[in-house]
Structure 1
């Protein structure tokens, strides 16, 4: 590469690409952890510590690189949907938008109200800390998911993190996140 020229997108490292996405991904993850009332400890009664949060962020990063090289490659709207959660043909987006009945049950921790997948979007968006850039009303046709021109990485990371945490560590009637069931790092 000639001195003074900028590297092409293909020449950027994974870390370079992630540095662009990380602030949005972290803000989304922080909201989801709070909204779901994720807990850890022997009795699942302690807020997540920095190590647990960093593990979840690493998982989100891994999904982002595998699904879209952090929004840079792929055929299904990678720039809009780095996590690939907004595909209008996929079960998660159809559950979130009420096309498949109730969908999954999101049992939140610390005595917080549980929601069906078709209810959780409204509940999350009513939270005072919800990131405004991820609101579904920014989309012209919500059911179109990432095909809608208004869909953005903010939508992808927020709704993708919500679903990821729910699916990572829950079975029927369990809280969407309970770190006590995760093996300790070693």
Structure 2
């Protein structure tokens, strides 16, 4: 990763941290001061809330910037879908981490992510997508790249429709 990518990741993480901290502080300060709670008590609650939200925002911003660095020039993200862990013995993610696995659908293909690690990436012409209820099966060059259970109802059908628009059956 070159220095430009690293600085872009840092800037994105810093912006997301600042936004998260600001929103958390406003969410605590506004109602607290409006309700007549002493300012020192409101401040004592706002500072840790802002710190936690800033930390979570920086982690989420860093992940997003790393994922965006994998996009080819001109490639756009059409959707990101949370995928349930493949094994039940996986512990659920912390709320500040968000879902562990994501299927990212772009104008050029599909990407499977585990937090900030790219597991695989396949272009549309090389894949076959099959939707079965909430399950989505993706085949790459005759082999199964993944069978996944998408979190939200209708997400598998949405990915299948995007694949059809790109000439994939």
Relative contact order higher in (CA < 8 Å, ≥ 6 apart): 1
After TM superposition, the score normalised by the length of structure 1 is 0.25
Whichever of the two has the greater Rg, that structure is: 2
